[in-house]
């Protein structure tokens, strides 16, 4: 009798311990994981209810309403980034190439995470290096911060030893449908044809 | 005027360099496939990639990297943590005996800072690397397309 109660006590202790350690583990993972675009859930609305106002490379307003009407290929980055960003943008350029005439049905946006250095003029010159169809978007720093947050993107300045700074940022490229809902992500490690196929699939269903 | 002259000097260096980026040998080290990505005219930063092969029996180390096209050249490492990409200085880079130090997009690269006049596709510029043992060596760097993923 006493024995049985002891066993039950020990078992409950073990359950408590397991739940406790699991909670700590989950908490630690959540704490170390940067606030990534892990909010990438298919169907997540990116434009609905969002309130930000940016400027495109030609100085025209760019608002959440501009994420509607046709699918959007959204890339985060900055022009002082010599390694990752050119890789992403040339990937988008290759995907547009692979799409052929269908490339006209998708909007490609390069949204800066460094609005202080990336003026509309700088963005315009930079995107033209890769493909004229890629639209550079910048704006007031506080508006860019709001937009990045609402799009689920991460960006944080990291000072460099020799002066200046770099911006750590979300590397995934997002594919939004014509209603501005997140549908899929693109990965530079996949062939550009895979990206083109994802866009084609979206075009055929929207 | 002095600025103009140095800009002219840089342009001449860039234009007169030989047309193909061959491998360069310094002691036991072979430096190959040195290339960079073209940038806009006003760009302040750029990336250069190369490989250093150590054919000897002693490890060697990169001490400095210099180039007339940039105010500053430092080896950087891009790291992908989850969905976020970060970049940091690598610190001193060593090349073990029989080993190869390979730089490539998305990984290790030489970050050029304070570029003056950007990097134009098809041109070349000299990069001087000082190794601890092999000493100073000048490597011609070929400028590829803005989104090039390798030499050529």
The per-residue pLDDT for range B127-146, each reduced to its tens digit, is 999 999 999 999 999 999 99
Answer whether B147 sits within 8 Å of A33, measured CB to CB.
Answer: no
HEC string of chain A equals CHHHHHHHHHHHHHHHHHHHHHHHHHHHHHHHCCCCHHHCCCCCECCCCCCCCEEECCCCEECHHHHCCCCEEEEEECCCCCCHHHHHHHHHHHHHHHHHHHHHHCEEEEEECCCCCCCHHHHHHHHHHHCCCEEEEECCHHHHHHHHHHCCCCEEEEECCCCCEEEEEECCEEEECCCCEEEEEECCCCCHHHHHHHHHHHHHHC
Placement of tokens 């400027």 in the chain: A55
B147, B148, B150, best to mutate vs chain A, most A CBs in 10 Å:
B147
Residue B149 located in a structural domain: no
Class of domain A40-205: alpha beta
* Whether A84 and B109 lie within 8 Å, measured CB to CB: no
Stretch among A83-87, A163-167, A177-181, B57-61 having the lowest mean pLDDT: A163-167
pLDDT digits (tens, 9 = 90+) for A34-64: 444 445 567 888 888 889 999 999 999 999 9
For residue B28, what is the domain's CATH number?
2.60.40.1890
pLDDT greater than 80 at residue A15: yes
Q: Which of B39, B46, B85 to mutate to test the interface with A (most CBs of A within 10 A)?
A: B85
Closest CA to B148 of B109, B101, B100, B96: B109
pLDDT at site B151: 87
Give a yes or no: residue B150 inside a domain: no
Annotated binding-site residue? A189: no
CB contact under 8 A, B44 and A80: yes
> Has residue B94 been placed in a domain?
yes
Tell me which residue in A82, A94, A170 faces B83 most closely, judged by beta carbons.
Answer: A170
Of the candidates B48, B37, B15, the one whose C-alpha atom is nearest the C-alpha of residue B143 is B37
A81 is in an annotated binding site: yes
| B76/A162 Cβ within 8 A | no
Whether B101 maps to a domain, the answer reads yes
In a domain, B15, yes or no: yes
φ, ψ at A149 (rounded to 5°): -60, -45
Closest residue in chain A to residue B149, using alpha carbons only: A87
In chain A, what residues touch B76 (CB-CB under 8 Å)? 83
For B72, name the nearest residue in chain A, comparing CA atoms only: A162
B80 to chain A, minimum CA–CA distance in Å?
A: 8
Give the total number of structural domains in chain B: 1
B152 within domain boundaries = no
Cα B21–chain centre separation: 12
- Asked if the structure places residue B99 within a domain, the reply is yes
CB B112 within 8 A of CB B94: no
Chain A CA closest to residue B74: A162
The domain in which residue B57 lies consists of: 2-144
* pLDDT tens profile A187-203: 999 999 999 999 999 99
Q: Is the ipTM of this complex over 0.85?
A: no
Higher-confidence residue: A96 or A15?
A: A96
Where are chain A's structural domains? 1-33, 40-205
Check whether A80 is labelled as a binding-site residue. Answer: no
pLDDT of residue A203: 94
């Amino acid at each position: 009798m006493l024995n049985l109660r002891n066993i039950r006590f020990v078992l409950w202790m073990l359950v408590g311990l397991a739940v406790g350690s699991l909670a700590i583990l989950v908490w630690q993972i959540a704490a170390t994981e940067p606030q990534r675009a892990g909010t990438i859930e298919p169907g997540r609305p990116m434009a609905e209810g969002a309130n930000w106002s940016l400027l495109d490379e030609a100085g025209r307003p760019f608002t959440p309403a501009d994420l509607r009407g046709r699918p959007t290929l959204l890339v985060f980055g900055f022009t002082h980034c010599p390694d990752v960003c050119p890789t992403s943008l040339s990937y988008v350029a290759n995907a547009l190439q692979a799409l052929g005439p269908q490339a006209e049905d998708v909007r490609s946006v390069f949204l800066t995470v460094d609005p202080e250095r990336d003026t509309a003029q700088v963005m315009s010159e930079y995107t033209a290096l890769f493909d004229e169809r890629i639209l550079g978007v910048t704006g007031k720093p506080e508006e860019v911060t709001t937009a990045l947050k609402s799009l689920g993107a991460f960006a944080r300045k990291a000072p460099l030893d020799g002066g200046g700074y770099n911006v750590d940022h979300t590397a995934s490229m997002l594919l939004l449908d014509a209603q501005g809902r997140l549908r899929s992500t693109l990965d530079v490690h996949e062939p550009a044809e895979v990206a083109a196929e994802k866009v084609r699939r979206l075009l055929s269903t929207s | 005027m002095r600025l103009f002259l140095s800009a002219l000097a840089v342009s001449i260096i860039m234009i007169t360099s030989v047309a193909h980026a061959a491998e360069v040998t310094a002691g036991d080290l072979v430096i190959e496939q040195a290339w960079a990505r073209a940038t806009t005219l006003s760009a302040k930063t750029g990336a250069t990639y190369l490989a250093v092969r150590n054919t000897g029996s002693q490890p060697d180390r990169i001490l400095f990297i210099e180039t007339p096209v940039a105010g500053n050249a430092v080896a950087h490492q891009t790291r992908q943590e989850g969905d976020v990409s970060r970049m940091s200085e690598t610190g001193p880079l060593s090349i073990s005996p029989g080993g190869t130090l390979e730089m490539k997009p998305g990984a290790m690269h030489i970050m050029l800072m304070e570029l003056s006049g950007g990097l134009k596709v098809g041109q070349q510029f000299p990069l001087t690397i000082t190794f601890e043992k092999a000493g100073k060596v000048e490597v011609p760097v070929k400028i590829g397309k803005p989104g090039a993923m390798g030499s050529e």
